[in-house]
Amino acid sequence: MISCHYLLFYSCLLLIVGHHVANAVIRVNYGYFAEASPIRVACARGWFNTEDYQVTCYPQTSGLFVAARLDSGSLHLAELGSTPLAQALARGVDIRVVYIDQYKGESQGIYVRPSDDESGYKGIENPFDLIGKKVGVPFGSTMHYHVLFLLDIFDMTGEVDVLNLSPTEIIKAWDDKTIDAAACWGNAREHVLGGDNPGNVLVTAGVLTDWGRGTFNAVAVGRDFMNINAEFVERFVTILGLLTDSFMDNLGEFDAENAKRWIPTDDPFVSYIPSMADTFMKSGEEARNPSIESISNERRALDLFIQLSTEDQLSCDHLGGGKACGRPSHQHIAMQKTAEFLMDQNVIHSMGQLSVMGDSGIACSAPNTLCGSDIFTGSGLNHDLYSLDSWDGQAPFYALNETGRAGEGEMSTGDSICSKTTLVAKQRIQYFGDLQGENSLMGQSYSGRPETECILFLAFIFDYHIHLSYPDNLDCWWTIRSSDCIESSSFCSRSVELSFLQVRIWSGDYIRVYSDPSIECDSDSSTKVLLGQITGLDPDLPVFRARGCILVHFETDANQEGSYNDMQNQGDGFAAIFADSSIVEPECNGEQWGADCSFTKHCLGTSHIDIGRDYQHSISSGTSRTYPNDLDCIWEVKAKGDQSYVVLDVEYDLEPTYDYVQLFSGTFGSTSGVTPHAFLSAESTKERYYIPTDKFGFATIRLVTDNLGQRSGFAASVSAGGGAATKFCSTPGTSGLFCEFPHCIVKNFIERGMVASSSDVDPEYQIGRVVSQIKSHSVPANIDCTWPFDKTLGEAQGIRLRFNSPLDLEPQPVSAVGDKVVVRAGGKVAAEVYVEKCTTDDVCSYSWQTGKCENGACTVHQSLDVEIDDFAGAELHLLTDRTDGGNEYNGVDFDVLFISSCPSGPEVHCEAGSGKCVDGGCMCNDNIPCACPCDAAGLVSTTNAALLWVLIPIVFIFISIFVWYRRRKIRKSRAQKATIQEKEEQLEAFRNSVVGMRTAITHYMPTPSISDADDDAPLAVPPPLEKIQWCWKETPSFVSAHGPDMIVGNPADCWIKYDRYLNTMLEDAFQAYTNSGSKKTSINESFKKLTSMNESFKKLTPFSPAPLDESKFIVCSDGYKVDVRDMKQTKEATGFERDVQRVVEVVDPVPQQVPKDRKEIDLSEVEVGNSLPDELISEPQMVLVKGDVVQISSQRPDGWAFGTKLHHNDEVTARELVRLTSKGSLDSNIFTDTGWFPLDTTEIPTGEELALLQTKVGGTDALQAPSYWDDIADPTIVQLHELKRSDKEYDSVTKAFLSTLKLPRFSKKVKVIGIQRIQNLAMWQSYVVKRQTICYRETGSQGGTDSPEVMKRALDRFERHWLWHGTNNDVMDKIMQQGFNRSFCGKNATVYGKGVYFARDAEYSAYPTYAVPDDNNVQYMMACRVIVGEYCPGVRNAFTPDIRDPSTQALYDTTVGLLSNDTMTDPSIYVTYHDAQAYPEYLIKFKTS
């Protein structure tokens, strides 16, 4: 005869699952946010469903929970924000992104409480007002990311109280006025901004996206699900794309009625908006009948987001990017930037698969890079698969079934009525989990013989007609006793069996099942034993059994749960039955669980294991390939007899810092509890550890996993051991009973007798040595290592930490310290020491710091004294956070000493008394550490007897001079003839090595109109200099967050400067636009006035940056696009626009006076040249001063030559000749150092002139052609050598070129067509002379007398190899033959002066503005050697650099432009003013796409 309770069990089971079997369809769970989005319509109208698939849509409250539910399989597809998406991917969750729902835009933000005069509340008006205030935000969400970002950029981390609140909790906290700000979206945003206490907008997600932290929603799918259900996923994603295209009216071309679908009407036959509004399941709204107010609100909310069309989705910027396009997409970049920030905030331990982006091209196809991975895919989007017409006009328009909608005025949803009261079941039916349906059986009872009665079962939550959902914030307990175990019983012989019929519990909510060996058996019992922690949708579970009683605890978090369009009436919650049993509790073996020990997939609850000395017992996390999330498994191990520890041989693979194997002495169920011993995490091959047992012989092993990230788990064997443990470890940094750990653990012994630098200290004062880990290891992450003091000293005033090696922990700002050493004593913190991040010495102001900032970190004194009044419970702690940013640190190694009071008084310097300062700490008599101060003001004086030792050598030297002088004179006379002969040979060799060298035999100036020239006339007044600043319009509440130097004009006008890089790019694009003749309106028409501007700002022109990949009038950077024709800055991801201005500061010139050093020139001694030939009329000309040395690079039959001056005989005279020729014009084509001149004004140089030039060069070898050049046929003619792709030289140039073409500044794909080496010996020698001249000028040497090391240092400092110069087909031939002349090379840019521009990074020069494409779209780039010398910041339109040495009027060699993140030691732009300063070494031909 089958007992009644088994019949009842099977009846309930059939009732629960019968209809699922009848409908053999695949159930799909889709998670979405209650935010306005076109794709919600598909949920309401059931368009995802097919004959084979039934989709239930589940509203979600936070992306971090969505990530966990995707990881566990509770959701198959789901929307989640970019921040939790990045966190999930970094932690190894195996998902793929198949759709970009929308960018956040203005749909969410940080909203703040305004001031209230009545209550005196001071509201929040700018970010700094958040200091000391409370901000509510769901942790792990995109808004949490934005809050952390805001606090980081305003340096407020740690100064604002950020609370983890669900959207529902935010609404309540706002109404209760317990928070000052809310970072939220959806219903919570509407309530905060439009409720009874309306808030203000502090900043929106759109603005924060403008600041470089864009966020978006994406639809992700589990990889396994996608692989198995590829066709369904394709159909699903295509529906999403069609709905978005419909909203963007991209279907209007094919469907004239399309636009009507998105008008706010309550007629679902016409509009989709009612269906979308219904999916919000708003409190108080009637299901399937949204109010017109709700419909209108949600239609307005749609415009707060930025949607992407299907075409956009498939582009290289989004899902089509990566391997197929050869470059990262916006999503790839956003994921990596987000993960980097989360690493910096210690939210994640590592970046995992997001760590390596992969450069464009080949590297982007590597599968081990983010760019080359298949995480983002547009393969599911199919334009032609479906059309909306197939669904339009079909019923239903709303969900047929839903759960979890709150009624009018209710804050919480759900149907359960359980409470915190413990419910005791005694032969009656008891329900828990959710409210019973109308067919509930509560209160009925059964009678009969005890062996066959239908004993006490818990009714199911699922009803075929009415499905239910549990609410948030539940904390419910049920006690189930066996039939013979009443409260007064002293012993229970029977057991209780508990079977779960249905479990649908979302991540973050838990069922916990306990047994209790005590007679109390209630929720407060300290002896209850965990049988299992349960969460998930339909998990595999065994039957649970316990003697006497079982406790069931149901706990839910603050996140609301529910379902929308649950076609299968699944609901959520749980259903269970229980019954008496005469079977005793099982004794499973640690690898099996459940009532009959048959469950092996994964561990559950508590296992009890008895072991002896010679007996080994195996335990593991289960047989599944990976362990599930949210595990809490315990193995209580009993060592029999005299065994004092448990031996654990273990191999483990756990997610680092999130999942742990914890080792304890004792048991959780005992009255004395457990004592932590050590934690194991990350990955390890087999290792052996020893766990001390408590006095009863117990040790505990516990596996705890969080809700995200799965690994393979662990397998181990346990055995017992006895004998004395090692008290102190001989190897510093080891720990454990037998020193088996290579790092510190929870409790460590201070290693007495192992002091390193303090061995000379009185042993009574030596406490010991503290070392965090052995030398081959990095300091462990996420630890709290403790070293209790095991000795005391009555007269001690404190302790001294004497560092054996510098403190080496992760440098962090004071507001976010995660790694630190803490001294605790007397129940309080006596001291904290850490490594503070710094930029200047001023930051390092704590007494335990040296005051020095080195390598971005404040250094710490070698000895630190800590005053301690009460040594009770004294101990040292080392605490570390989750991550070290991918770096390794050596941790701590210091001796710990007691210190006595200062015998001379606390204010008396150590060395003024009887002490001695050693390593910054005072040592008093008998080598006793004492508290006397040691500082720079020490009173140390000694007798100096150095005078005697100075006099003796002087006398000796004086006596020796005479002998030395005579011998030297004799040697000198003998060598004189040989030296003269050698010099003559060197000069002849030098003459032969120099190409085309000539010496000026007269003063020469090109033809001016000089008949009426007034030699005393002042120089012409230069035109006014214009200082250009581009600026953008900031949100008013954030203007004060910018430094005064970044605000243009009146702060009330909200204009903020662009950085130098963008300022340059924008001005160049603007100049190209104004010179193009294609302006839409005249510049004057586009000028705007700002009356509140400073008077020095005379004109404002509107502006907006635009991407140069669209045209030369557009600049792109970090997701912005600015078109100088439209003067609007547009955020590419969201379409958000800002006004931009071009501010022109007119600088009044100072009238130039006749220079004091101006030479009086007798014009009768100056040869005035004839006019240049017509074909050269626009070419540069050069003046000559008698004695100048010139090198010719080009010579014509008509007697004209083009040359570069190697030596100025009198540069002041040369400048005066230029002034006279140009009539004072600063923009003439006459130069002192390069240009055309008549050859007959020069001759072959004399030996004396050659000798003078040789001193500037350093010898004949310096002028030789580079060794890798081909043979020179004609040294005056340029030769081009085509490099082969197989050449190392080709590879080197290509890599250097491509390595600086990086996102986000350069977003094009580049193909190198060819590379030519430029061989022009004459130009090379001009460059060498200029290079050597600058180097010798700075080293103070002549003629090459510097050592090779000195010369190398000078070259490293002054020469750049390579800088980049973009050119075009018309100019490059002139450059290769004549060099970089300003008359034809300095026209594209004048922002940093009117010279020749070179870029550190090719990404700047490769834009079409500079590297102009030819008719075949080929662009040209020159890789150049440039001798930059000493440089200064450039000034717009300046003709020369600033004065470097006022005493000699010497100028700087070069000016520079500082772009974004540049410093003066590493600028992006160099501008030269002497043609010989640069040599074009290679010509690169390339194409972009």
One-character DSSP codes across 1042-1088: S-GGGB-S-GGG-EEEPPHHHHHHHHHHHHHHHTTT--SS-HHHH-B
What is each CA distance from 138 to 79, 102, 1414, in whole angstroms?
Answer: 16, 20, 55
Q: Average of pLDDT values for 188-195?
A: 90
Q: Average of pLDDT values for 921-925?
A: 91
pLDDT tens string 1084-1122 = 332 232 222 233 222 222 222 233 334 567 887 666 778
Q: Which of 1072-1076, 1262-1266, 1339-1343 has the highest mean pLDDT?
A: 1262-1266
Burial class (CB in 10 A: 0-12, 13-18, 19+), 1008: middle
Backbone angles phi, psi at 1325, to 5 degrees: -70, -35
The sheet with strand 1478-1488 has its strands ordered as 1279-1282, 1310-1319, 1478-1488, 1419-1427, 1359-1367, 1396-1399, 1469-1472, 1454-1457, 1431-1433
Element (H, E) at 1101: strand 1097-1102
Residue 211, pLDDT > 80, answer no
Band of pLDDT at residue 1481, cut at 50, 70 and 90: very high
Query: DSSP assignment of 1319-1371, as one string?
Result: E-HHHHHHHHHHHHHHHHHHHT--TT-S-HHHHHHHHHHHEEEEEEEEE-TTT
Alpha helices per DSSP H over 154-195: 167-175, 186-194
Q: In angstroms, rounded to a whole number, what is the distance separating the alpha carbons of residues 1028 and 1098?
A: 11
Residue 954, pLDDT > 70, answer no
Residue 361, pLDDT > 70, answer no
Q: Average of pLDDT values for 644-661?
A: 94
Q: Which residue type does 761 have?
A: V
Q: Which residue type does 565 have?
A: N
Residue among 937, 885, 887, 891 nearest 911 (CA): 937
pLDDT on residue 790: 82
Whether 863 and 829 have beta carbons less than 8 Å apart is answered as no
Six-digit token pair at 410? Answer: 């209710």
CB atoms within 10 A of CB 847: 8
Q: In angstroms, rounded to a whole number, what is the distance separating the alpha carbons of residues 37 and 1151?
A: 65
pLDDT on residue 1304: 57
Six-digit token pair at 812? Answer: 């962090």
- Name which of 356-365, 592-601, 1169-1178, 1417-1426 the model is least confident about: 356-365
Whether 857 and 836 have beta carbons less than 8 Å apart is answered as yes
CB atoms within 10 A of CB 1187: 18
Q: In angstroms, rounded to a whole number, what is the distance separating the alpha carbons of residues 105 and 301?
A: 11
CB atoms within 10 A of CB 388: 19
Residue 432, pLDDT > 50, answer no
pLDDT on residue 1154: 41
Q: Which residue has the tokens 């760019």?
A: 371
Q: In angstroms, rounded to a whole number, what is the distance separating the alpha carbons of residues 879 and 744?
A: 11
Six-digit token pair at 583? Answer: 């079977």
Length of the chain: 1489
**Beta bridge partners of residue 876, listed in sequence order:** 787, 823
pLDDT on residue 390: 59
What value does the CA radius of gyration of the chain take, rounded to a whole number of Å? Answer: 41
26-33 and 77-81 as β-strands: parallel, antiparallel, unpaired? parallel
**Beta bridge partners of residue 79, listed in sequence order:** 219
Name, in order, each residue with C-beta under 8 angstroms of 1188's C-beta and a sequence gap of 6 or more: 999, 1000, 1205, 1207, 1208, 1209, 1214
3-state secondary structure 861-875: CCEEEEECCCCCCCE
Q: In angstroms, rounded to a whole number, what is the distance separating the alpha carbons of residues 1030 and 1145?
A: 11
Residue 621, pLDDT > 50, answer yes
pLDDT tens string 142-158 = 999 999 989 888 888 88
3-state secondary structure 1215-1251: HHHHHHHHCCCCCCCEECCEEEEEHHHEECCCHHHHH
% of the chain at pLDDT higher than 90: 36
pLDDT on residue 958: 52
Q: In angstroms, rounded to a whole number, what is the distance separating the alpha carbons of residues 992 and 862?
A: 64
pLDDT tens string 1433-1457 = 887 777 788 888 777 777 888 999 8
Whether 528 and 673 have beta carbons less than 8 Å apart is answered as no
Peptide bond into 1236 cis (omega under 30): no
Whether 914 and 829 have beta carbons less than 8 Å apart is answered as no
**In the chain, what is the greatest distance between 2 CA atoms, to the nearest angstrom?**
139
Query: DSSP assignment of 1384-1452, as one string?
Result: HHSSS--TT-SSEEEESSHHHHTSTTTS---TTS-EEEEEEEEE--SEEE--TT-SSPPEEETTTTEEP
What is each CA distance from 1080 to 1104, 1126, 1369, in whole angstroms?
Answer: 15, 9, 29
What is each CA distance from 946 to 51, 574, 943, 952, 1026, in whole angstroms?
Answer: 103, 93, 9, 11, 63
Q: In angstroms, rounded to a whole number, what is the distance separating the alpha carbons of residues 1387 and 1228?
A: 14
Six-digit token pair at 1360? Answer: 């750049």
Q: In angstroms, rounded to a whole number, what is the distance separating the alpha carbons of residues 1022 and 1019?
A: 9
pLDDT on residue 22: 41
Residue 208, pLDDT > 80, answer yes
Alpha helices per DSSP H over 269-329: 273-278, 292-302, 310-313
pLDDT on residue 171: 93
Band of pLDDT at residue 1021, cut at 50, 70 and 90: very low
pLDDT on residue 667: 93
pLDDT on residue 938: 36
Backbone angles phi, psi at 1243, to 5 degrees: -145, 175
Residue 434, pLDDT > 90, answer no
Element (H, E) at 458: strand 458-459
% of the chain at pLDDT higher than 70: 80
536-537 and 798-803 as β-strands: parallel, antiparallel, unpaired? unpaired
Six-digit token pair at 726? Answer: 């090692």
pLDDT on residue 1141: 86
Q: Average of pLDDT values for 966-992?
A: 53
Q: Which residue has the tokens 């996140």?
A: 559
Whether 173 and 165 have beta carbons less than 8 Å apart is answered as yes
pLDDT on residue 1094: 30
Backbone angles phi, psi at 1380, to 5 degrees: -90, 90
Of residues 1336 and 95, the one with the higher pLDDT is 95
pLDDT on residue 1084: 30
CB atoms within 10 A of CB 1032: 22
Name, in order, each residue with C-beta under 8 angstroms of 1048's C-beta and a sequence gap of 6 or more: 1029, 1031, 1055, 1056, 1057, 1093, 1097, 1141, 1143
pLDDT on residue 913: 77
pLDDT on residue 490: 67
Of residues 1251 and 824, the one with the higher pLDDT is 824
Average pLDDT, the chain: 80
Band of pLDDT at residue 1422, cut at 50, 70 and 90: very high
Q: Which of 852-866, 993-1007, 1171-1185, 1291-1305 has the highest mean pLDDT?
A: 852-866
Q: In angstroms, rounded to a whole number, what is the distance separating the alpha carbons of residues 11 and 501?
A: 11
pLDDT on residue 1387: 56
Whether 66 and 80 have beta carbons less than 8 Å apart is answered as yes
pLDDT on residue 486: 66
- Name which of 351-365, 625-639, 912-926 the model is least confident about: 351-365
Six-digit token pair at 32? Answer: 């979405």
Q: In angstroms, rounded to a whole number, what is the distance separating the alpha carbons of residues 699 and 665?
A: 4
Residue 661, pLDDT > 70, answer yes
Q: At what angle do helices 82-90 and 142-153 cross, to 10 degrees?
A: 90
